Amino acid sequence: MERRILIVVDMQHDFVDGSLGTAEAQGIVPAVVERIRQARQAGETIIATLDTHPENYLETAEGRKLPVRHCIRGTWGWELCPEIAAALGDSLRVEKPTFGSTALPVIISSILAGEDTLCVELIGLCTDICVVSNALLLKAYFPEARIAVRPACCAGVTPALHEAALQTMASCQIDLI
């Protein structure tokens, strides 16, 4: 039996229409909502990640290299976009303090509980930072699993970085679907 898991990465205001938002990020929202609805109808497990930083973000290692306050826990920018939140319903949310979530492999392992095969699909933001980080982390943790990314449901910091990240993931045997 195959266990299918959809990971919705960081579809939060600050990445869509806030401090780090882009037109490309805003443009994928309808496709992401539709993909979540499809996954829900198919009975797939859905997990959403939330980039989550403390008030002193600018003093952290990441904050010193990316000095733009974003996704500060409890702020408007940290919240999921309303249409994404509505589509997700009561799906599991996982806070992550940096690009890749070390909690995701642990959570997925507990979900598997003897399943024969695993297929994980990632969608969301930003292709060249958090999506690629989580995809590579999951591929390393589950080398025999099918790890896939849906480019039409992702956006990068720039279109060029989006494409570069897709090439990197394809080189690392992550399927682009």
| CATH code for the domain in which residue 17 is found | 3.40.50.850
- Give pLDDT tens digits for 6-45: 999 999 999 999 999 999 999 999 999 999 999 999 999 9
Write down the residue that tokens 């990441």 correspond to: 62
Strand, helix or coil at 50? strand
- DSSP β-bridge partners for residue 93: 48
**Number of domains present in the structure of the chain:** 1
Region 87-112 average pLDDT: 96
> Residue 113 has what pLDDT?
72
Segments forming the whole domain that contains residue 51? 2-176
> Residue 115 has what pLDDT?
67
Q: How far apart are the first and last CA of the chain?
A: 21
Region 133-137 average pLDDT: 98
Tokens of 114: 């003897």
Q: What Rg, from alpha-carbon coordinates, does the chain have?
A: 15
CA dihedral 80, 19, 156, 84 (to 10 degrees): 10
Residue 95 binned pLDDT confidence (cut-offs 50, 70, 90): very high
Model confidence, pTM: 0.97
